[in-house]
Structure 1
C-alpha cells in the first residue's frame, strides 16, 4: 500500500549543466520532474554533485534554480576567477556552481554525504533520480543509509547494452555498472515504455532479483517551445521534411542522405523536397558529419541546424510537410511524438515502441527499406508540387501522452 513520503530528494546534477543550453530529451524529463515535485504538497529538496562536492537545496533554493532555468532570472555574472576558468575549461560551469553555493542549504565533500542528509532531511524521504547521473554504488549506498529512505531511479533505455555498436567501449562499460547499481540499490525503477521495461528486466534478471518496475509514458507539451529568445525561424519553400534529434549513429541519418543523393540524380533541383536536419552533433559521427559538410546539396535542399531555439524548432516542425525519424532503436522517442502533437505527418521506423506510443498516427516503414522510405517521402512531397499547396490536408487525430497522467502513475510509487 502506498504511503506518501514526508519529503522528496530530487537529483538536479544534470539540470545544473543546462546553463543557457536548449534542453535535450532527457533534460526535458528532468525539467518536468522539477516542476512537478516543487508543486507537490510534500517538501522537495535538491541534490547536486559538483567538482568540489555535494550541494543540498531546500524548496526555496529549488525555486530559485527553476526561475533561472526558465530564464526568469539571470545566472550570476562571472567574476575574474570564473572568467579565467571558463577560458581555461571552455565551460561556463564555474560561475554557475559559485551561484549554486550561495543558494544551497548545505554542502559537503563526498565522504560526508550521508551525514549532511541526516542533518537536514526528515525521516521517510524518497530519493528521485531521473537524469541517470550519480548512479554509482558509493553515491547510492550513502543515500540508502538515511533512515527510511526509498530510492526511485528512472532508466530511460538500455540501448548501450542492446546495441553496443552505437556506443564507445567506455560508455558500454559505464552503463553496465550503472544498471547493476540500480538493480542493487533501487526500491523502484521508473521507465518510459513497456519496451524499455522488458529490456531492463531481461538484463537485470541475469544478475539477481529485479526491483519493482513501473511504466509511465512521458508527457509532451508545447510549453517547451515558449520560453526562448523569439529569434526568427529559418524558412523553407515547401515541400520540406524535418529530422529532429541528436545526430548519432543509431538514428540512421545516412539513409536519408542516400535518398536525397538519388533524388538529385533523377530530379531537377526545383523538384527535390528540402531536408532539414535539426540537432546537436553527437558521438561516433565523424564520417557522417564530413558527409554533411561536403554535400553538394548543402545550402540548396539540404540544411543542418545544431543550436536552434525551441520556438524556432516549433515553427519549422509545425509547418513541415513531414517529420522523418528512421531510428534503428529507441526507448521512447520524443521527437516524433512532439511532431504528432503539432499535427505534423510522421514517417518513422516500424519499431514496437513507436506503435506503443503513437498508435496508428505515423506511416511506418522498415528501418532499412530505403526504397519504401523514398516512395513515402515522394508521395507526401507530390501533394505540394504544382500551383496549389495542400496545407489543408486531413491529418488523423492524435492524443499525446500528458505529464499529468505520467505523474499520476509515477508519484504513486515515489
Structure 2
C-alpha cells in the first residue's frame, strides 16, 4: 500500500560513528532499510528534540543508511572520506535538532514548516511514525500531537522491559526513564512490535499495572544476519579448549557466575579451559562490583578481548567449545541465535527468553549456580564425553529466524491493523 513513514532516525544519527552495532542498532537499521527499499513507501527522516520534531534532509538519511549498511551489515571498512561524510552528517543532524528546539521556543510549533509542506496534499495516504530503538519517548504531548495534528499512526518496537522489571541491573534513574517510554508506547502506540513472547508479556503486565488498555501488536523474532550462516575459515590452531561470553559486561549479564565457576575449576585441579570475554565494559552496580578485578586475577585462564568485529567474532565462535550466556534476564538472545546458526552449542541461563530463542537446543542452567556451570564446562570441554556431540546433533533442528520472514510478518500485521481501523 502507498504510505508515508516518519522514521525516527535519532539513534542511528547518534550512533553513526560507531564501528560495531548493538542489537538495537541492527534492528533500527534493518527497519530503515526495509522502508527505504519499499517502492510504495515515502520515508521522511525525523528526530525528537525535547517536545518538538525535527526533519532530516533526505540526502542525509540516504547517506547514513548507505554507510551504516556498508559498515554494520556488509562489514566493509569506511574510507577516510566516508568517515568525514559521517561526521558532517552527524553534525548537520545536531544542528537540525537545535533548530527544532529553537523553532518550538520561538513559534510554539511542534512540527517544522518543512514537514507540513511535505505532507500537504497527501490526501488519504496513510501516515505512520516508526520508532525502532526506544530513543527519546519522554515527551508524551509530542506523540499525542503527531496523532491529533498530523494524523499519524504510531508504531513502536519494544525490545525489552528490563529496566522496569530489574532496576538493580541498570544505571540509577534508568528504570523510571524506561517506564516513561513504555507508558508513552502503551498509551499512544497504535501498533507495537515485540521481539519475543516474553517482551510482550512483560509489556502487557506493565500496562495492567498502569491501568492502560493493551495496544495491538505482533511478536517478530529478530533476524540473524546472513553472514553468520556462512562458516568462516581460520588457519589458527587452538592449543586449549575455550568458551565465549559475548556482550557488554554489565550487571545483568552475570559474568560473576562464570568467574566463580572458573575459580572452582582451578581449585579442582586438572586442565582448565580458557574463558574469553568479548564485549566492552559497561556500568557497575552492586551486582557486578569488583568483577573486572576478579577477571584480571584469573588470567591467563580468563581473557578479555573487548568488542570485536562480526568477522572476528565469527572466527572466535567457530573454534569455541560453547557459547556461555549466564544472563539474569534478556528480552531476546541474539548471540545465542547467532551461535546456533553457526553450529555452536550454547550453555545458557534458564530464563524465559532463552527457552524461546534457543528452541530447546541450548543447555539451560540456573544463573545462580557456579557449580552447575563449572560441571557443564568440564563436560563440554572433554571430547571423550558425549555432552557436546549430543548438543551439536540437537542443533540440526534449529530453525534460524530470518529478516525476510520478519518483515513479511510485519507487513501482514500492519495490513491487518489497517483493515481493523477501516472497519471501525
TM-score (norm 1): 0.83
Q: Does the Cα contact within 8 Å between 1:53 and 1:107 map onto a contact in 2?
A: no
Question: Could you say what secondary structure the match of 1:282 adopts?
Answer: coil
1:287 Cα deviation from its structure 2 partner: 7.8
Q: Which runs of 5+ in 1 are unaligned?
A: 79-92
What is the alpha-carbon distance in structure 1 between the residues aligned to residue 37 and residue 268 of structure 2? 57
Q: Which runs of 5+ in 2 are unaligned?
A: 72-77, 415-424
What is the alpha-carbon distance in structure 2 between the residues aligned to residue 247 and residue 205 of structure 1? 32
2:349 — aligned with what?
349
Q: Does the Cα contact within 8 Å between 2:45 and 2:56 map onto a contact in 1?
A: yes
What is the alpha-carbon distance in structure 2 between the residues aligned to residue 312 and residue 63 of structure 1? 28
1:141 Cα deviation from its structure 2 partner: 2.7
Count of residue pairs brought into register by the alignment: 385
What is the alpha-carbon distance in structure 1 between the residues aligned to residue 144 and residue 312 of structure 2? 43
Change (3 A) 1:120 1:356: same
Name which of 160, 163, 166 aligns with 2:163.
160
* Larger relative helix fraction: 2
1:168 Cα deviation from its structure 2 partner: 3.2
Of stretches 114-123 and 328-337 in structure 1, the one that deviates more from structure 2 is 114-123
Name which of 211, 215, 231 aligns with 1:211.
215
What is the alpha-carbon distance in structure 2 between the residues aligned to residue 281 and residue 147 of structure 1? 42
TM-score (norm 2): 0.81
1:77 — aligned with what?
84
1:33 — aligned with what?
31
Q: Does the Cα contact within 8 Å between 2:190 and 2:215 map onto a contact in 1?
A: yes
Q: Does the Cα contact within 8 Å between 1:114 and 1:142 map onto a contact in 2?
A: no
Name which of 21, 24, 44 aligns with 1:23.
21
Name which of 259, 264, 267 aligns with 2:266.
264
1:97 — aligned with what?
90
1:268-287 aligned within 5 A? 268=270, 271-285=271-285
What is the alpha-carbon distance in structure 1 between the residues aligned to residue 373 and residue 362 of structure 2? 13
1:45 — aligned with what?
44
1:99 Cα deviation from its structure 2 partner: 4.5
1:279-358 aligned within 5 A? 279-285=279-285, 288=288, 290-293=290-293, 295=295, 298-358=298-358
Change (3 A) 1:187 1:114: same
Question: Could you say what secondary structure the match of 2:31 adopts?
Answer: helix
Deviations 1:11-57, CA, capped at 9 Å, x for gaps: 11111122133111111111211221111121222113469985424
Deviations 1:96-119, CA, capped at 9 Å, x for gaps: 4335479x8x96336234244322
Q: Does the Cα contact within 8 Å between 1:247 and 1:285 map onto a contact in 2?
A: no
What is the alpha-carbon distance in structure 1 between the residues aligned to residue 201 and residue 2 of structure 2? 28
What is the alpha-carbon distance in structure 2 between the residues aligned to residue 373 and residue 30 of structure 1? 34
Deviations 1:111-158, CA, capped at 9 Å, x for gaps: 234244322234521111011012121432342234331100111111
1:118 — aligned with what?
116
What is the alpha-carbon distance in structure 1 between the residues aligned to residue 277 and residue 235 of structure 2? 14
What is the alpha-carbon distance in structure 1 between the residues aligned to residue 175 and residue 165 of structure 2? 10
Of stretches 293-302 and 195-204 in structure 1, the one that deviates more from structure 2 is 293-302
What is the alpha-carbon distance in structure 2 between the residues aligned to residue 17 and residue 357 of structure 1? 29
